[in-house]
């Protein structure tokens, strides 16, 4: 029998979730940084080659607060300065955070 002391490596996702629950400013800062990243606002969409990439990209990016997997809620086309912008709404399967991610399709412009 092995009597060595066993140390279990900390789980970074569990640590992040515990911190998000106990420190509201941590969650607010994580959201603020996500909104500053590509796709975080309509003014700064993620550029993709085709519409078929949009939903997969939106649901493969982890939740900015808890790193949980988001689930697709909606996908619509909005307009900004006469340019179409894909707006994908997701909800985190773990913490329930709802957020939008914005995409533009390369080479698509309004005539």
List of residues contacting Zn ion (CB under 5 A): 63, 65-66, 68, 92, 94-95, 97
Least distance from Zn ion to the Cβ atom of residue 28, Å: 14
Q: Which is nearer to Zn ion, 45 or 68 (CB)?
A: 68
Least distance from Zn ion to the Cβ atom of residue 1, Å: 41
Q: Which is nearer to Zn ion, 87 or 92 (CB)?
A: 92
Contact present, 50 and 56 (Cβ < 8 Å): no
H or E element in which residue 61 lies: none
Distance CA 111, CA 107 (A): 12
Q: Which is nearer to Zn ion, 80 or 94 (CB)?
A: 94
Least distance from Zn ion to the Cβ atom of residue 97, Å: 5
> Mapping DSSP to helix (H, G, I), strand (E, B) and coil, where does residue 84 land?
strand
Tell me how crowded residue 6 is: count the other CB atoms within 10 A of its CB.
6
């Amino acid at each position: 029998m092995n009597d060595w002391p066993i140390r279990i490596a900390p789980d970074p996702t569990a640590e992040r979730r515990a911190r998000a629950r106990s420190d509201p400013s941590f969650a607010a800062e994580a959201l603020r940084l996500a909104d500053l990243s590509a796709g975080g606002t309509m003014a700064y969409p993620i550029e993709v080659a085709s519409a078929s990439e949009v939903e997969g990209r939106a649901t493969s990016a982890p939740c900015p607060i808890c790193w949980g997997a988001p689930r697709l809620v909606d996908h619509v086309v909005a307009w900004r300065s006469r340019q179409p912008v894909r707006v994908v709404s997701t909800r985190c399967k773990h913490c329930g955070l709802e957020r939008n991610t914005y995409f533009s399709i390369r080479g698509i412009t309004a005539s």
